[in-house]
Amino acid sequence: MSKPQGVWTNEDTALILIDYQKEMFEGVASETPADVIDLNVRLLIKAAKAFGMPIVLSTVGVEMGVNGTTRQSILDELPGVVPIDRSSMNAWEDEAFLAAVKATGKKRLIFAALWTEICLVFPVVDALKDGYDVSYVVDAVGGLSQLAHRTAIDRLAHAGAVPNTSLALVTELFRDWAGPLGDQAREIITPYLGEVKALAAA
């Protein structure tokens, strides 16, 4: 059962992005289409940057020659951010990744990853065990099947992580149109909603 966590703020939170690579996008077969996942991940990145939140980015199997690097549309939002490449399915078991998370100094982590049932579930469960508060962004992730994705979502919720959606999370982080982050939020959300409409019409 989830412990009470209250609303999330930008001050105490880091964004953790795992395995947004070509091969993983191609395998997505759950409810949120790959192009919508891409859009929502980019929204999360833009919000984290605008709101001063640290970002940790990881890939799997690039140095081994198994997979390509992070999708270019996502990398374009992260100039200067170098992905932490791993061989492990569970990013939490990678020393460099774990060190990067700890270096953020944040105890509340927002996770998004491909695929839901593997590269999202494993590190989230371990982060919870290690005392972090964790939220995961349901419409910025996807699995190899709808059953695999939904089972993973259920597992995460039972473990105590908090589900959210991308736009709802962004509004939770800045909170008030008249507040200090309102202008930055408007600059992010207005074009995002335009992209959402364009995808829906395509």
Per-domain residue ranges of the chain: 13-201
The pLDDT, as a whole number, for residue 202 is 81
Q: In 10 A of CB 154, how many CB atoms?
A: 11
Query: What fold does the segment set 13-201 form as a domain?
Result: Rossmann fold (3.40.50)
**Which active-site residues does the annotation give?**
119
Q: What is the pLDDT of residue 6?
A: 83
Q: Tell me: the pLDDT tens digits for 14-68? A: 999 999 999 999 999 999 999 999 999 999 999 999 999 999 999 999 999 999 9
Q: Distance between CA atoms of 172 and 58, rounded to whole angstroms?
A: 25
What residues of the chain score a pLDDT lower than 50?
Answer: 1-2
Q: What is the helix (H) or strand (E) element at residue 96, kind and residue range?
A: helix 95-103
SS3 77: coil
| CA neighbor of 125 nearest in space, from 143, 114, 111 | 111
